[in-house]
Amino acid sequence: MALIVVKFGGTSVADVARIENAADKIVREVERGNQVAVIVSAMSGVTNQLVGYCDEVSQLYDTREYDVVVSSGEQITAGLMAMALQKRDVEARSWLGWQIPIRTDETHGKARIAEIDTTEISKRLKKGEVVVVPGFQGVSERNRISTLGRGGSDTSAVALAAALKADRCDIYTDVDGVYTTDPRIVPKARKLNRISFEEMIELASLGAKVLQTRSVEMAMKHHVPLQVLSSFEDHIGSDLPGTLIVEEDDIMEQELVSGIAYARDEAKVTLLKVPDTPGVAARIFEPLSEAAVNVDMIVQNISADGKATDMTFTVSRADLPKALETLGNLADLDDVDIIATEDVAKVSVVGVGMISHHGVASKMFATLAKKGINIQVISTSEIKISVLIAEEYTELAVRALHEAYGLES
Ligand code: ADP
Ligand code: ASP
Ligand code: MG
């Protein structure tokens, strides 16, 4: 008998029929004698709609109220899932974030889980009850509802698995595993049987939304056996070939490049004629960080005259209004021109093989050049290379790179 956490994403609970289908899968796990905790997302499209309502009121909304609104989608599916299980004669009960509680910090909109009190749900699981928990939500130190950032139900699942010391955490989604790139963009993308935590963290943080980055970081830290599988296949459980996220040493044949990721939710900000004096970068980026704006790629040019320089950086599109508001309030930037655009995308090549092989970057640049795609910003780390390009070329770039690195099936 095992204790497992299963998570169903938005498309897997998109309507009542899908919820019933997911409930059937849970029943099969229960019949195998397993204790099952279920994490559910909101029905697909619902969270987007709720975010849309908030944006309609104001682009600079109060994030505590944003959390009240956007957390509501998961509450609906949790209740429906518990009902669907009860209809199947399985003892089931839903537990909202505050009822457990799942404690988070105060960073509303992208809160981090601090602690999960498993006392009550452990008791229920031991009695054979299925515990249904809405993903994405928690409760802050000040007892306000918080949410974990888009895609956060993955993190809810892994955090619950870690807290319960579960034997497995299964992420059911609308694809049957992690692919060399988004199979929706590149139909020839290849399914990976295994991928290392390190590579999955990079792919996820660079835009492969199949898993939220934090969920993978957490699984790595707490040694949670994690797998991604399809909720549309007829089977359930560990005998199903999805993708296992594993330690690097468990991968027999390491490829040079294991995947290509893209992110369209980027925005580029350029500051022209920034005074070239010590400390100016800190005076720009500290207030952004205090406003909880994540800055990603940064380039600063050398000033020709020693007096003024240009600086370009990227933030997520959702953070752009806040970033511009923050920059607008900086006295230092009174004479600086600020140019912002949302028509950009980041395309990245990821692989641990890069550590020991050269030529990966030059192949990327040559491939994009051949397609006439201009590179606006480049950033690299040990196992990835990212470029910022015009958004309209995203698919073209991803397909060309996928082919250039021989990733096709
Ligand atoms: P869920 O609602 O189940 O959480 P998501 O939409 O968040 O599902 O994530 C699954 C989607 O991630 C897939 O439909 C696919 O389009 C996208 N995706 C992006 N990159 C990859 C990749 N490398 N492998 C698999 N899926 C990917
Ligand atoms: N419903 C939330 C979102 O769409 C959380 C999730 O599904 O993981 O971002
Ligand atoms: Mg998701």
Q: Report the residue among 12, 19, 173 best suited for mutation to probe ligand 1: largest number of ligand atoms under 8 A from its CB.
A: 173
The first and second tokens of residue 361, run together, are 């970057």
Contact between 44 and 105 (Cβ < 8 Å): no
pTM of the model: 0.91
Residue 174, pLDDT score: 94
Is 383 found in the same domain as 288? yes
Q: Is residue 293 part of a domain?
A: yes
Per-residue pLDDT tens for 389-408? 999 999 999 999 999 999 99
Residue range 342-364: mean pLDDT, rounded: 91
Ligand 2: list residues with CB < 6 Å.
Answer: 9-10, 41-42, 47, 73, 135-136, 150-154
Q: How confident is the model at residue 96 (pLDDT cuts 50, 70, 90)?
A: very high
Cα–Cα distance measured from residue 357 to residue 342, given in angstroms and rounded to the nearest whole number: 34
Number of domains in the chain: 2
pLDDT at 238 over 80: no
CATH number at residue 131: 3.40.1160.10
Is 313 found in the same domain as 192? no
Q: Report the residue among 150, 154, 210, 211 best suited for mutation to probe ligand 2: largest number of ligand atoms under 8 A from its CB.
A: 150
Instruction: Give the structural domain span for 219.
Output: 3-249
Query: Which atom of ligand 1 has the smallest separation from the CA of 179?
Result: 24
Per-residue pLDDT tens for 192-233? 999 999 999 999 999 999 999 999 999 999 999 999 999 886
Q: Is residue 171 part of a domain?
A: yes
Per-residue pLDDT tens for 158-180? 999 999 999 999 999 999 999 99
Residue 350, ligand 1, Cβ within 6 A: no
Is 27 found in the same domain as 158? yes
Cα–Cα distance measured from residue 329 to residue 331, given in angstroms and rounded to the nearest whole number: 6
Distance 40 CA to ligand 2 centre (A): 9
Is 388 found in the same domain as 323? yes
E strand segments, 128-191: 130-134, 137-139, 145-147, 168-173
Per-residue pLDDT tens for 295-307? 999 998 877 787 8
| CA distances (Å), origin 298, targets 112, 326, 341 | 25, 17, 15
Is 24 found in the same domain as 155? yes
Per-residue pLDDT tens for 286-330? 999 999 899 999 998 877 787 888 999 999 998 999 999 999 988
CATH number at residue 367: 3.30.2130.10
Residue where a domain terminates, one of 193, 224, 249: 249
CA neighbor of 276 nearest in space, from 310, 248, 316, 242: 310
Q: Is residue 254 part of a domain?
A: no
Residue where a domain terminates, one of 228, 249, 270: 249
Q: How confident is the model at residue 68 (pLDDT cuts 50, 70, 90)?
A: very high
Place of tokens 């509680």: 101
Is 61 found in the same domain as 152? yes
Distance 149 CA to ligand 2 centre (A): 8
Per-residue pLDDT tens for 19-48? 999 999 999 999 999 999 999 999 999 999
79 secondary structure, DSSP code: H
Residue where a domain terminates, one of 249, 268, 299: 249
Residue 200, ligand 1, Cβ within 6 A: no
Q: Is residue 409 part of a domain?
A: no
Distance 309 CA to ligand 3 centre (A): 40
DSSP state letters, 122-161: HHHHHTTPEEEEETTEEE-TTS-EEE--TTTHHHHHHHHH
Distance 229 CA to ligand 1 centre (A): 11
Q: Is residue 196 part of a domain?
A: yes
Partners of 146 in the β-ladder: 138
Is 155 found in the same domain as 304? no
pLDDT at 376 over 90: yes
pLDDT at 235 over 90: no
Q: Is residue 127 part of a domain?
A: yes
CA 378 to chain centre: 22
Contact between 310 and 270 (Cβ < 8 Å): yes
Assign residue 143 a region: left if phi > 0, alpha if psi is -120 to 50, beta otherwise?
Answer: left
